Amino acid sequence: MVLDEATGLTRAAAPLCQLENDLGQHENPAVGSPGELAMSRVLLIEDDRQTADEIVAELVDRGFQVEWAATGIEGLDKARIGDADVMIVDRLLPGIDGLTIIEVVRQEHIRTPVLVLSALGAVDDRVRGLRAGGDDYLTKPFAILELIARIEALLRRPSENRDTMLRVGPLELDLISRTAKRGDRPIDLLPREFRLLEYMMRRKDQLLTRAMLFEEVWSYKFVPQSNLVDVHMGRLRRKVDGSDEQPMIHSVRGEGFVLRAPA
Amino acid sequence: MVKGSFSVRLPEFARTTTFRWTLAISGAFTLCVILMFVFVLGEEYSYLSSDVDRLNSENARLVTAETKENRVRRLNEYLQNDPRRVKLGGLFDSDGNRIAGNIENLPATLQTDSSPTDVSLIRVDAFGRDRQLARTIAHRLDDRSILVVGRNVQQFTWIVGVVRRALTLGLIPALCLGLMAGALLSVRGQKRIDAVNRKVQRIVDGELRERLPTRGTNDPFDKLAVLVNGMLDEIESLVRRLAGVGDDIAHDLRTPLTRVRVSLERARQKAGSLDELRASVDKAIVGLDQSLAIITALLRIAEIEHSRQVYGFRDVALADLVREVGDLYEPIAEDKKVDFAVKAKEDATVHGDRDLLFEAVANLVDNAVKFTPQGGHVELSLLRKGNEAVVRVCDSGPGIPIGESDLVMRRFYRSDKSRCDPGLGLGLSLVNAIVKLHGFDFRISSGPGCVAEIAGRSADA
């Protein structure tokens, strides 16, 4: 499940991971809906062959079209064509540095969303990656599902609509009056719960990992050791999903959460 | 002082700075002494000369004043009574033939009626005939005869001789003594440096127990050695602690990894269905994630400990921060049935990195909630003590045994009382790293339960 260049974990992890995904579609309907995102083009700029192979295999399995560039120069050439829907750029590359590629591409007004990968975990480095024009940042080693979830999130970035009312199935969120209701049942939310629900409703049907939620909803840069996100999510779920209602907030075991309209 | 190929052949001590300085100082000292003697001699000479000149001209005047007939008598009277044989006088006719006196002949270099000069003369008297150096004047008298009056100044030469002997006897031993002292000092210094060198070499080779030699005197060298030894103590204890940390890391990583291995091994042999296999794989992933979390936490601590970057620091309002942490942990405390109170009535501002401070406070609360049993209470409060802002986390948990409060800040330290509780044992060392980066104080004390405080100088005080 975890990609780690230094160890042989990749080899062992990949088939298991694959197994879960092949069989997991029915049980975990939340994880990606390939139909919608299929044929999205991903440009992967990564110099480590093993890591790249694993990522490519995983993405291809999920129906993405993947192009792989192994050096900074090759990557920059491909990125400048600008026909990818999302780019995954390693921070440290031979030839041209990953951040330089992003800066050049942004200067040429190519708005393709970029996920920066790095073995450097420094908070500073993360900030630098985002400042250079990256849209998200992931530290190695990472869980492959975390990578997929983030790529899907980048591909389905909520449009900048000015709607003051969010709707997912029977769930309604009024951003002006700060109220929520499910059907006719009003839901009483604390401010932090409101923020969480808003974030999830804007990204319905997407897998939201704990790290993503923690970074985006709470905007904290560290990952707490306790099951903080789970507890907060538990609260929200008890309010959103009544005992006699069909659940809308689903947890994906070990990975994160998905909000979807009841079938 | 000798450059080039010669310096290679100089003995070791002669090449030290100490010795060269001694040499230079000795030289300067000698020069000063010689200059002083030259000055004294010069002064002495001019004093004595003027004295002699006065005597000579007085006597010449006395002889001249006599009538022509009495001059010889007068001169002879003057020349008598001269046990030291210093008086010289002579009367010569206009052709330079001696008429009277004890000077054998009129010296050719002597000019009449000019200023006194030093002349070499031949003295002739009852004791014999010998050459003398004399300070002399000559006058041509009214009858064209020449009167010469002089005084032996051989004593000046004697004085110069005395001075030379004094210099030889005084200066040369002094100089030798200086050089010897210089050589001795540099040899001694060299020896100490050699001794230190050998010790340092041993330390470099890994013998961290070695210390630089000290003599218990209070000289600068000793002080330096004591200082360096103090540094070595600190390094030794750090290295030991690090080695301990290494063991702890190995242990803490081995535990989850062993579980992963066992789980996978069993699954490979025993799993009868895909579901069973997946359950085992899930367990394995949890174990791997735990190991990774440990590594991540370690890297994070190292990152904070090594960062010297304080340029991102700005004013942080602590009341907001404390309320936010409270907000974040309130549901967790409630789930655990732990009473959680947040008290931040007064605001206080400190200079720092908000994210890091948040992380530190969150870690303290995380710990407190984790270690407080069901039904207990945790209190997070912001206080002001003078110009100090204090964030305090108290809990009713088991507390920290006396003497362990320093230890808990170390990586992986987990009190034996809490070995069974989950946690990485890295939380407090992370807090400590953050607090140190800010230059704040981190205090842990055991009341009933545990009291942890982060105290920083308030920016608005």
Q: Where are the CATH 3.40.50.2300 domain residues in chain A?
A: 9-155
Q: Is B453 exposed, middle or buried (0-12, 13-18, 19+ CB in 10 A)?
A: buried
Cβ distance A223 to B296 less than 8 Å, yes or no, reads yes
What's the CA gap between B346 and B324, in Å, rounded? 15
Residue with tokens 């620091």: B313
Task: Give pLDDT, residue A3.
Answer: 42
Task: Give pLDDT, residue B353.
Answer: 85
What's the CA gap between B183 and B112, in Å, rounded? 60
DSSP result, B374-433: TT-EEEEEEEEETTEEEEEEEE-S----TT-TTGGGSTT---GGGTTS---S-HHHHHHH
Looking at this protein, which amino acid is placed at residue B227? Answer: L
Best CA proximity match to B23, nearest among B237, B186, B179, B249: B179
Best CA proximity match to B259, nearest among B222, B284, B235, B276: B284
Using beta carbons and an 8 Å cutoff, which residues of A are at the interface with B? 1-2, 9, 16, 19-20, 23, 121-124, 139, 141, 143, 192, 218, 220-228, 231-232, 234-235, 253-254
Looking at this protein, which amino acid is placed at residue B99? Answer: I
Share of chain A above pLDDT 70, in %: 78
Q: Which fold has domain A165-259?
A: Arc Repressor Mutant, subunit A (1.10.10)
pLDDT tens profile B440-460: 888 888 767 788 888 888 876
What's the CA gap between A196 and B6, in Å, rounded? 84
Beta carbons within 10 angstroms of residue B250's beta carbon: 10
Cα distance between the two ends of chain B:
62
Confirm or reject contact between B282 and chain A (CB < 8 A). Answer: yes
Q: Determine what percent of chain A falls in helix, strand and coil, rounding each to the nearest 5.
A: 40, 20, 40
Which one-letter DSSP state was computed for residue A26? H
Task: Give pLDDT, residue B293.
Answer: 78
Task: Give pLDDT, residue B254.
Answer: 81
User: What does the pLDDT average to over A208-230?
Assistant: 78
Q: Which CATH class is domain A9-155?
A: alpha beta
Confirm or reject contact between B370 and chain A (CB < 8 A). Answer: yes
What's the CA gap between B387 and B456, in Å, rounded? 9
pLDDT tens profile B172-220: 888 888 888 888 888 888 888 888 889 889 888 888 888 888 888 888 8
Task: Give pLDDT, residue B425.
Answer: 60
Task: Give pLDDT, residue B241.
Answer: 73
Of B285, B293, B296, the CB nearest to A1: B285
More confident residue, A17 or B218: B218
Task: Give pLDDT, residue A7.
Answer: 36
Cβ distance B362 to A222 less than 8 Å, yes or no, reads yes
What's the CA gap between B46 and B36, in Å, rounded? 16
Reported in sequence order, the residue ranges of B276-333 that DSSP labels E, i.e. its strands, are 314-317
Mean pLDDT by 10 residues, chain B (461 residues): 50 75 86 88 86 89 85 86 85 85 84 84 84 87 87 80 84 85 85 87 85 83 88 84 71 82 87 86 84 78 71 84 90 90 88 87 88 90 89 82 59 44 62 85 80 83 56
Minimum distance, in Å, between the CA of residue B320 and any CA atom of chain A: 14
Confirm or reject contact between B274 and chain A (CB < 8 A). Answer: yes
Q: Which residue of B has its CA nearest to A219?
A: B355
Cβ distance B299 to A224 less than 8 Å, yes or no, reads no
What's the CA gap between A12 and A19, in Å, rounded? 12
Cβ distance A124 to B427 less than 8 Å, yes or no, reads no
Task: Give pLDDT, residue B243.
Answer: 72
Confirm or reject contact between B369 and chain A (CB < 8 A). Answer: yes
pLDDT tens profile B378-400: 999 999 888 889 999 988 877 66
Minimum distance, in Å, between the CA of residue B209 and any CA atom of chain A: 36
Task: Give pLDDT, residue B1.
Answer: 44
Chain mean pLDDT for chain A:
79
Strand partners, B455: B390, B441
**Angstrom distances, CA of residue B190 to CA of B15, B193, B195, B203, B422:** 10, 5, 8, 19, 59
Q: Where are the CATH 1.10.10.10 domain residues in chain A?
A: 165-259
Most B CBs within 10 Å, among A222, A238, A252, to test the B interface: A222
Cβ distance A1 to B332 less than 8 Å, yes or no, reads no
Cβ distance B355 to A221 less than 8 Å, yes or no, reads yes
pLDDT tens profile A93-142: 888 888 889 999 999 888 899 999 887 655 666 667 777 788 888 888 78
- Answer whether 0.80 is exceeded by the pTM: no
Task: List the domains of chain B with CATH numbers.
Answer: 220-305 (1.10.287.130), 309-457 (3.30.565.10)
Task: Give pLDDT, residue A30.
Answer: 40
Q: Which two tokens stand for residue A186?
A: 């009003």
Task: Give pLDDT, residue B386.
Answer: 83
B337: which chain A residues are within 8 Å (Cβ-Cβ)? none
Q: Is the ipTM of this complex over 0.85?
A: no
